[in-house]
Amino acid sequence: MINYIILSISALVLILIIGFISPSKDSTVFDKLIVGSVFIFSILIGISLAIHPGWYKKQKKNSKNNSKNSSTIQFKGHHPSCDKYSNHIIVTKNKTYCAGCLGLIIGSIVTIILITFYLIFDFSKIDFHLFLIFGILLILVLFIIIIFHKRNPFVRVVSNTGFMISFFIIIIGILEITGYFIYGLLTGLFSFLLIHTRIHISKWSHKNICRNCKKKCKMY
Residue 27 is given by DSSP the state: P
Give average pLDDT by consecutive 10-residue segment, the chain, 220 residues.
87 93 87 94 88 63 45 62 71 78 91 94 88 95 82 84 94 94 94 88 76 68
Report the pLDDT value the prediction gives residue 165, as an integer from 0 to 100.
Answer: 95
C-alpha dist (Å) from residue 217 to 59, 128, 177: 22, 50, 52
Tell me the C-alpha distance between 140 and 10, whole Å. Answer: 12
Contact status, residue 69 vs residue 219, Cβ threshold 8 Å: yes
Report the pLDDT value the prediction gives residue 62, as an integer from 0 to 100.
Answer: 45
**Secondary structure tally for the chain: helices H, strands E:** 7, 4
Q: Where are the beta strands (DSSP E) in the chain?
A: 75-76, 79-80, 89-92, 95-98
79 beta partners: 76
C-alpha dist (Å) from residue 150 to 55, 76, 105: 29, 20, 22
Task: Identify the H or E element spanning 49.
Answer: helix 29-51
Question: Closest Cα to residue 188, out of 120, 91, 111?
Answer: 111
Enumerate the domain spans of the chain: 2-16+26-53+69-211
Tell me the C-alpha distance between 101 and 160, whole Å. Answer: 8
C-alpha dist (Å) from residue 69 to 55, 82, 217: 23, 11, 6
3-state secondary structure of 59: coil
Q: 78's torsion region: left (phi>0), alpha (psi -120 to 50) or beta?
A: left
Report the pLDDT value the prediction gives residue 201, as an integer from 0 to 100.
Answer: 82
Question: Closest Cα to residue 8, out of 169, 159, 168, 200?
Answer: 200
Report the pLDDT value the prediction gives residue 80, as an integer from 0 to 100.
Answer: 67
Question: Closest Cα to residue 22, out of 191, 189, 184, 190?
Answer: 184
Report the pLDDT value the prediction gives residue 95, as an integer from 0 to 100.
Answer: 80
Task: Tally Cβ neighbours within 10 Å of residue 161.
Answer: 21
